[in-house]
Chain A
Amino acid sequence: MTSAISVSGLVKTFGPTRALDDLNLDVHTGEVHGFLGPNGAGKSTAIRVLLGLLRADSGTARLLGGDPWKDTAALHRRLAYVPGDVNLWPNLTGGEVIDLLGRLRGGLNKARRAELLERFELDPRKKGRTYSKGNRQKVALVAALSSDVELLILDEPTSGLDPLMEAVFQDCINDERSRGRTVLLSSHILAEVEALCDRVSIIRGGHIVETGTLADLRHLTRTSISAELAGPPNGLADLAGVHDLVAEGNRVRFEVDSDELDPVLKQLVATGVRTLTSQPPTLEELFLRHYEDAK
């Protein structure tokens, strides 16, 4: 499998702050890759290094087979970028900005531009200074999504969108995936990443702490189970992978490591099950565990 982005050992410091600390990141061609982390974890810094806007102190970064610092212009022909903070020129209309960015990238798909304006309900005649934050983001999104490029780099592109527009955005990204494009989606919204991404990398303090498919990551998480049994839950506490067990008579609540689910369920069935609720592991939980560990 080829890599659209491959980064290893990347370090970037700003004075005393170490924004990227031995960062390794691998994005496969054709996948939607979630880049997850809270504010200040280094997501935007990593993206700016990949765009050749910042120069890394050490480490290597390859983007579409080229060096992002040296082959900047050639690489930028093949990608589109939506910044986290979209600022527009006060006296240019949204439509003018979309066309400008499209032309600079070497042309945009007019039919797709019209369709996206429709879907995002964006008025392209308004001047930059009159758009809200969400609408400024839509301008950048329409410009990026209507370009014919191989790679989309999106830095928290939905932080100003309302839930309706968030749904439109998710549809659009699924369209991009089916067109075979690679997407690097930075976000701190877990639901969005869970809904869209094939693989996820979690960044903390400028370092990737976890990377893999959602299925891979779920192995690292726990399922919450609460059940009413036919008899007392004998022996349950001794099973491997069971945590935080609370038993009140025949009722039990506990968490179980995802890879230990099978023997635990067999034990429950042996006792006899009246009711059972299980909650699947969420990325949120994984995320919180990683950040709590850091404390």
Chain B
Amino acid sequence: MIGTGHLVRLALRRDRILLPVWVLFLVGVTYSTTTALEELYATAESRALLGVTANANSAFLAMLGPLHDWSSLGGLVVWRWGVFSGLFVAIMAMLVVTRHTRAEEEAGRTELIAATVVGRHAPLAAAVIVAGGTSLLIGLLQALALIGKDLAPAGAFAFGLSTASVGLVFTAVSACTAQLSENSRVSNAIAGGFLGVTYLLRAAGDAAGESGPQWLTWFSPIGWTEHVRSFGDNRFWVLLLPLAAFVLLTGVSAYIVTRRDVGLGLLAARLGPPHGTIGSPFGLAWRLQKGSLIGWSVALFAVGVIYGSVAQAVGQMVQDNPALGQIVSKIGGADAMVDAFFATVTQLLGLISSIYLVQAVLRLRSEETSFRAEPILATPVSRWGWVASHAVFALVGGAVVLAAAGLGLGLVYGTQTRDLGAVLPQMLGAALAQLPAAWVIAGVALVLFGLFPQLTGVSWAVVSVALVLTLLGPALQLDQWMIDLSPFTHVPKYPDITFGPLAWLTVVAVLLLAAGFAGFRRRDLST
């Protein structure tokens, strides 16, 4: 552990922009969500109405979890923001830990450090301290922000500590996954997959309701934060679960560190074929991108299956609850509820798929900066051909991923309603309708790559902004022109899919892609 202090300082120096942005974002959204909800639901009646509808709507239940306590503003904040706050802090922790452990090791920099007076555990300890400390800081500042809005201090701290607890668990999860593979991309993918499962377990448990497998939420670190019941019972003892998970998993990762060589992983590399069959840039791109494409397709198919299986319960719930039935009949009855559910779900799937598309485009940049593009572009492969070989994974691969999601939705819902023939094409259509908007995001990423290569990483900010604007924009009471900036705002809502907006979104995407291609053809390769 000697030298941990120095490495913590090194990490803080390297992340001096990144970490403050995360802290500001997570605390800022907490504050602004509270302000917005305070104005939106000023009266007790409006809150009660929200309570009934929110807990009856499976889409809301799956996305945000149940609204336990609508008597207080704090309860509304927990419902609207708690799950996402945990999700974001987990992503932060995951990226920070991998960046300072496996990515450093992969780049060979850990070797430099390990040869100095630094303990074997120091790099891992430093990463855990930075990521865990940032999680706690975010939680603390969130609590203070809520207290600043005159909310009950006990509830505020329960909320803040819940957020921090998810960050701590995923700090420890990533500390473990960083030990498994020699590749930082793989360790992030494993931790990210774990986060996805965490979110889906609680989504399934919450959407199932009391009659279904609600206990699933007890197997999810994000589910634990819901069980804390901040601003309600404030069950602080539930936080012992994430604390135990943190201690256990950090211990496991520290144990693995003593059992392996620097630079290597637990998953050992094997010998491969002495001859190759790849003979084209597309063949190479397929080899590099197929794992991600298959993984995303399977994951989104699974998400589709989960949401598809919940949809019927949405209609059922209306029939079981006369009071709700009255409200719902005003907006078009149970069928309209189901339609609205699918509209929300397909939009969410579209947003998630845009992460895949951007990742597929950014592969170009990582190939370039790691000097692996150079030998390829020194062969007769044209610049255009090389970019196209990867871009096709964003454009066509994006369609595959969304079709997998639509297939999952349609197969399950169609089977349940015994109308597979009609439902399946509808669901495929609704999912694929998101594609042009996702293409626009991919187009922005390609423009950055082609024209402003140093800023390619800003693509992730573009994805985040689209996510926040689309999902939280209305709740944050942003101006319509801001919400309109997200291409997903313009996708026609299921079931009224019209082709006009899809056509012009496609045109925008094509123009952006063309600009990106042209820019790359004219610029220097990064050296």
Contact = CB atoms under 8 A, between A and B. Distances in A.
Contacts of B378: 51, 53, 76, 79, 81, 83, 153
A291 interface: no
Interface stretch (A27-35, A102-110, A201-209, A277-285): A102-110
B288 interface: yes
Given A48-B525, A90-B183, A81 B272 contact: no
Interface string B256-283: 0000000000000111111111111101
A74 B275 CA distance: 26
B276 A100 contact: yes
B284 interface: yes
Nearest to A140: B375
A72 to B, nearest CB: 7
- The range of chain A's interface size is 35 or more
A88 interface: yes
A83 B273 contact: no
A214 B19 CA distance: 58
Interface string A80-97: 010101111111110111
B371 interface: yes
Contacts of A124: 274-275
Interface string B198-213: 0000000000000000
Nearest to A78: B380
A125 interface: yes
Contacts of A105: 379-380
Nearest to A104: B379
A interface majority secondary structure: mixed
A54 B183 contact: no
Contacts of B276: 92-93, 95-100
Interface residues of B, number: 37
A44 B527 contact: yes
Nearest to B369: A87
A85 B375 CA distance: 10
B507 interface: no
Contacts of A103: 278-280
A93 B374 contact: no
Interface in B366-385: 370-372, 374-383
A126 B372 CA distance: 18
B524 interface: yes
A289 interface: no
A243 interface: no
B527 A106 contact: no
Contacts of B272: 92-93, 95-96, 125-127
A26 B372 CA distance: 29
A108 to B, nearest CB: 11
B287 interface: yes
A110 B507 CA distance: 47
Contact of B525 (A53, A104, A106, A126): A53
Contacts of B377: 51-53
A73 B288 contact: no
B272 to A, nearest CB: 4
Contacts of A88: 372
A55 interface: yes
A290 interface: no
A140 to B, nearest CB: 7
B84 to A, nearest CB: 34
Given A96-B278, A125-B271, 6 more contacts: A86-B375, A95-B274, A103-B280, A104-B280, A104-B376, A125-B273
18 contacts: A52-B377, A53-B527, A54-B527, A55-B522, A81-B375, A83-B375, A87-B370, A90-B183, A93-B272, A95-B272, A95-B274, A96-B275, A98-B276, A104-B376, A124-B275, A125-B274, A127-B270, A127-B271
